[in-house]
Structure 1
């Protein structure tokens, strides 16, 4: 947000903030005005002469200890001192969220705080106006749900931030609250739509998330989740749209980062699966050993493998489909099945110093030899295409399992970018 000085409002006695090279910001009272300059008596007892363009109005009632929420600021440009005070409170009281108008700003606490997101907290935010209680994702979700019901208009929630900011966790909290508000179980033995959405998350995370320098579980794709509601405000269907998958990561990984979780999960699978799929130590695979980061303390790849397979069962993927994850292709087109390829021929081609590209013309088939560098580039291009097709196929399977309501009256969309 751009800072704008209200120089025309300055007069003798005005309270202002000034930038300071040693203290960052100092505050004081205007004691003299001379054209585009002002003389300020600072609360630190020093006198400063500054341009009016570099001064910013200060709320004279600004509390010395700062404010709890930014909605209490008279001026949005009240400088960093308040942010630092808020950060100090966060470290002591586990308060790491604040408001700017209807925008929730959250700082990743880098710790699990389950007591802040349980059912009792959901009940506390139910029906309470935004800003009346402590800043929380539940408040934003409740506001969207109430406006949808009261104004009969679909809503959208944008979750944005840097890698590692906590977008994935914040999205989970929003989904949990909307499921709480609009949940419906017609059959006690059948899982609800919102349960299916939440249960599908390990599959999307396994194939779409990776460790980056700043985040152990960074989503490397954009996601738009539609929760569809009927006229009574009950969830009737859902759909997940994905976009901008980071395909380049499949073939090229920077140090201190990892490829997609699923590759490491497969290498950490039970022995019978490792033997069956001819897997092994991830350090033996070129697409994984470009980085020295293979294992992570915070993630157990063997456990994540089992959790992902369980999630695949939950969303309705058959054992045959789980084993045939290497299938690629579009509907009504021939699928490429690696099991249909002669292993001996494939091994021979991959080990040969040159790969060949075939061009079929009307009169003949022309063979063009590729050098190793060009062959490797072609291999990488094919790998990225295959992985993108695989990811799209997984999302399609999840959407079929969740079930869309084509006659839904409203929707709340959660866009994560």
Structure 2
């Protein structure tokens, strides 16, 4: 019955809180009993309420497997998985077109959602994990950047790093000099494009377009970075409690004396743009 329906209600702190509909008034507002809050009841307009899953603590690999797919259930599934160290979750979209005589299905996209765990999850990117995703159809294995790497070339710095490792280690049979050069280029690019922010000590403040070239045996034969888009404003000014790019501090810490003299490098605290906190 409707009065037993579990729902998600918007909350300024949690995003959404779980509750059960107690009553629906004639004015279009529902009275809701919170599942965890000490508050006895709360009211909310029906157009701001989202249906909740019956088992809200059970996670699914694919958000589209949820009975009710809405912003609240999607976020709850991501949070539930995150609490279990499952930082990846997929969304497999397709459209269904109906006609008089038949149904038509059109694939739209395979989307991988990744949540930064801020610590290393054991064996998440091991060689054994790489091999376990080789040649598997999407959905057979749990969501992972390696599953996407087997089918496509996604972006974002961390995802690209592990995708390249997947391609070079698996399809390249062994990481030779070309593969290793491609992998070794990532720390250099990150030094010039990553910086500490208020939310992340190693935040990517740049974007790049990278090509990886293969021969007819799927061996890696080359790579090319055609675009490198940098947040240039960070070089001369940072927001409070944020820092310059990592390369600035690397130069302060280890540049040869001759280079230090040429660039007038001393220590980070001597520069307004370094913002040491």
TM-score, length-scaled by structure 2: 0.72
Structure 2 residue aligned with 1:71: 64
Question: Of the candidates 202, 225, 228, which is equivalent to residue 240 of structure 1?
Answer: 225
Structure 1 residue aligned with 2:276: 292
Asked if 1:96 corresponds to 2:96, the answer is: no
TM-score, length-scaled by structure 1: 0.50
Question: Which of the two has greater strand per residue?
Answer: 2
Structure 2 residue aligned with 1:170: 159
In structure 2, C-alpha distance between the alignment counterparts of 1:47 and 1:284, rounded to whole Å: 56
Relative to 1, partners in 2 of residues 1:286 and 1:132: Cα closer, same or farther, differing over 3 Å?
same
- Per-residue deviation, 1:111: 0.4
RMSD of aligned C-alpha atoms? Answer: 3.8
Question: Of the candidates 177, 195, 217, which is equivalent to residue 191 of structure 1?
Answer: 177
- Per-residue deviation, 1:183: 1.1
8 A Cα contact 1:227 1:237, kept in partner: yes
In structure 2, C-alpha distance between the alignment counterparts of 1:89 and 1:134, rounded to whole Å: 12
8 A Cα contact 2:172 2:220, kept in partner: yes
Question: Of the candidates 271, 275, 279, which is equivalent to residue 265 of structure 2?
Answer: 279
- Per-residue deviation, 1:127: 1.3
5+ residue gaps, structure 1, are 1-11, 145-155, 160-166, 294-417
Alignment of 1:224-263 (within 5 A): 224-263=209-248
In structure 1, C-alpha distance between the alignment counterparts of 2:256 and 2:43, rounded to whole Å: 74
5+ residue gaps, structure 2, are 93-109
Count of residues paired in the alignment: 250
8 A Cα contact 1:229 1:236, kept in partner: yes
Structure 1 residue aligned with 2:198: 213
- Per-residue deviation, 1:77: 1.1
Alignment of 1:327-366 (within 5 A): none
Question: Of the candidates 18, 24, 28, which is equivalent to residue 17 of structure 2?
Answer: 24
Q: Which secondary structure does the structure 1 equivalent of 2:150 belong to? A: helix
In structure 2, C-alpha distance between the alignment counterparts of 1:242 and 1:235, rounded to whole Å: 20
In structure 2, C-alpha distance between the alignment counterparts of 1:218 and 1:183, rounded to whole Å: 30
Structure 2 residue aligned with 1:105: 113
Structure 1 or 2, whichever has the larger Rg, is: 1
Higher relative contact order (CA 8 A, sep 6+): 1
Structure 1 residue aligned with 2:101: none
Q: Which secondary structure does the structure 2 equivalent of 1:224 belong to? A: strand
